[in-house]
Amino acid sequence: MIRRANAVLAVLALLANLALAGGPMVVTGPAALAPGKPFVWDVATPIQFTVDGGPMSKSPTGTVVVDHATGLARVKAMFQVWQSVPTTAISFSYAGALTASGLSADGDVDTLAEYNASQTTCKNGTQSPIVFDADGSILKSLGLDPLVIGFAGLCKVDPQAGHILSAHVLLNGRFQDGVTNSTTSNYELTADEFDEAITHEIGHFAGLDHSQINTSVFNQSPGNCNLDDLAGLPLMFPVDYCQARKSAGLPVLAPDDVAWISSLYPNAGYPSAYGTISGFIYFSDGITQVQGLNVIARFLDNPNTVQDESKRVAVSVVSGYLFTGNPGQSITTTNPGSPYGSRSPALIGYYEIPVPPGTYTVQTENIDARFVGGSSVGPLDRPAITYGAYEFWHHNESAFDDPSLKDPIVVSAGQTVNGIDFILNSTPPRFDKYEDGMAFLPSHPAGLFAFRRSAFLLLRRGS
């Protein structure tokens, strides 16, 4: 029996007020030449990263468990996983050991002061460090949950050009130290699982946000998910709940991960390998746009195979992902709003999903209410309360239709199928003579959140 960690794959937002979104992690704001575009690295040349000069993992008594050379090789291999996607132009290059003023010459980051030194170089935009927190002590010094496997963030961006200039990753080697001790919250992951965590953090490093697909895994045993669900479960899913994809014979990246890295960094092969589905999500008035709902395009299941393609091939995004998560307000000027994300009201409920050619159904759902803070999905840091949000798209959308009715959508390579618009059922009226359509969603009371989050942590403490 494997003791599963209630492990969290967090993205720490170093930049203030990040507009997090399913698909891209950060979207350009009012300062940009082109607002409402994903922040991306300039990939004309390979993205340079540096790596901690110390071991990847050591035991509580200081014995090296995963040495530096092995850790470095694993990190390089996980960068290669993203770079190997056939339809992306993204590439990475190892620029040597981490160096920073205040860091010992061996480049081994093992104190908070050394970690901060590495962060200073990242914020200056001079390097993009991968830090090995070999025994989890840096994470502890930062006041973070010991169940965080790793985190990543962008350090410096060019807000005008919309370019990522530097980013960082921290990996918690305590999950590879060979020690399982529940009283000290020290859990283990398999090598495949930890490699997935590395790959996940590199996804954030590349500019990808979390994705939510196949939350049905939460009704299954931790570490023993159904293969159809697992195949479609994004590597960028916010929590580590299932067995490693690789251990189950699946590719490390799910179709959602492959689609989004390709969409952000397309190469010449992308237009002949992907099409696009786009549309808007509306409240029941059919006019007011809804931000913060998950939208999933699922491949139509082929009844002649034993596999469920609708679970296995799915790509998602969050409505309003190009719109800001915090528009601010000008009355008291205490909240100038996020510097990120478009202010165009036309994008509040807009979505766009890159898909391989084929026949799809499209559906909406709520973001899981437990995905908050560092585990958030989409532009709102609190999932939206929504009503009647679980709905398939069909040709005659209305506020009074059967939400289970679904019409297939055929997408060819290079084609954008637009107008796949949803009108949600039974939402509160959001459009009347006193409103102009700029409606914003209420958020949960904080106390309720805290309760639900801890319930979730217990849920993931599986057997």
Site for Zn ion, rule CB under 5 A: 9, 11
Q: What is the distance between the alpha carbons of residues 86 and 265, in angstroms, rounded to a whole number? A: 11
Closer residue to Zn ion (CB): 9 or 355: 9
Taking CB atoms, the residue at the shortest distance from Zn ion is: 9
Please give the helix or strand (H or E) that residue 83 lies within, else none: helix 68-83
431-440 long-range Cβ contacts below 8 angstroms, 24+ apart = 431/283, 431/285, 431/287, 431/288, 435/288, 437/287, 437/288, 437/289, 437/345, 438/345, 438/348, 439/283, 439/288, 440/291, 440/327
Closer residue to Zn ion (CB): 194 or 280: 194
Q: What is the distance between the alpha carbons of residues 381 and 373, in angstroms, rounded to a whole number? A: 6
CB-CB contact of 371 with 210 (8 Å): yes
How many other C-beta atoms can be found within 10 angstroms of the C-beta atom of residue 413? 14
Please, what is the minimum distance in Å from the beta carbon of residue 279 to Zn ion? 27
Closer residue to Zn ion (CB): 169 or 273: 169
Q: What is the distance between the alpha carbons of residues 259 and 208, in angstroms, rounded to a whole number? A: 11
- The DSSP call for residue 69 is H
CA dist 240 to 119, 397, 398, Å? 26, 36, 37
Closer residue to Zn ion (CB): 202 or 281: 202
Closer residue to Zn ion (CB): 262 or 375: 375
User: Assign residue 22 a region: left if phi > 0, alpha if psi is -120 to 50, beta otherwise?
Assistant: beta
CB-CB contact of 289 with 321 (8 Å): no
Please, what is the minimum distance in Å from the beta carbon of residue 238 to Zn ion? 6
Please, what is the minimum distance in Å from the beta carbon of residue 129 to Zn ion? 18
Please, what is the minimum distance in Å from the beta carbon of residue 44 to Zn ion? 27
Please, what is the minimum distance in Å from the beta carbon of residue 236 to Zn ion? 7
Closer residue to Zn ion (CB): 9 or 293: 9
Closer residue to Zn ion (CB): 11 or 264: 11
Please, what is the minimum distance in Å from the beta carbon of residue 285 to Zn ion? 35
Please, what is the minimum distance in Å from the beta carbon of residue 167 to Zn ion? 13
Burial 129-142 (b: 16+ CB within 10 A, else e): bbbbbbbbbbbeee
Q: Could you give the angle at which helices 191-205 and 68-83 cross, rounded to 10 degrees?
A: 60
* CA-CA-CA-CA torsion sign (354, 418, 382, 157): positive
Closer residue to Zn ion (CB): 231 or 236: 236
Closer residue to Zn ion (CB): 13 or 117: 13
Please, what is the minimum distance in Å from the beta carbon of residue 204 to Zn ion? 6
Q: What is the distance between the alpha carbons of residues 154 and 202, in angstroms, rounded to a whole number? A: 11
Tokens for 63?
């014995």
Closer residue to Zn ion (CB): 234 or 341: 234
Closer residue to Zn ion (CB): 9 or 367: 9
Q: Which residue has the tokens 């006041």?
A: 143
Please, what is the minimum distance in Å from the beta carbon of residue 328 to Zn ion? 26
Burial 417-436 (b: 16+ CB within 10 A, else e): beebbbbbbebeebbeeeee
Please, what is the minimum distance in Å from the beta carbon of residue 210 to Zn ion? 5
Please, what is the minimum distance in Å from the beta carbon of residue 134 to Zn ion? 21
